[in-house]
Amino acid sequence: MADDFTQIDCGTTLDIACVAAFCMQCLAALEVKQKIVLQASELERVDTAALQVLVSLFQGARLQRQAVQWQSPSEALYQSAALLGLSDLLDLQDSGD
């Protein structure tokens, strides 16, 4: 049976330098119309541009009734989202700490 989800690896850094490529990955995942799993366990640095793309991904997925799920989000991601007040929009309310 084929995978019933699309996985996106966030890598170690999501910043303005790589946000265009990351945005393209997110748009492609939305087009597939399967659950999206974001692997973010190695993410050490995330800037505002990347968080904007993530918010757009979550909003687009909600409009399409498409699930987005985090797989092991890093503490850096929790902190960056909380600092900008985006935890709820990104479904990052519960840090592991």
Domain positions in the chain are: 11-83
Task: Give the type of residue at 91.
Answer: D
Q: What pLDDT is recorded for position 68?
A: 98
Contact between 46 and 80 (Cβ < 8 Å): yes
pLDDT band at 96 (very low <50, low <70, confident <90, very high): low
Q: How far apart are CA 1 and CA 57, in angstroms?
A: 26
pTM score, whole prediction: 0.91
pLDDT single digits (tens) 28-52: 999 999 999 999 999 999 999 999 9
CATH top class, domain 11-83? alpha beta
Q: How far apart are CA 3 and CA 11, in angstroms?
A: 21
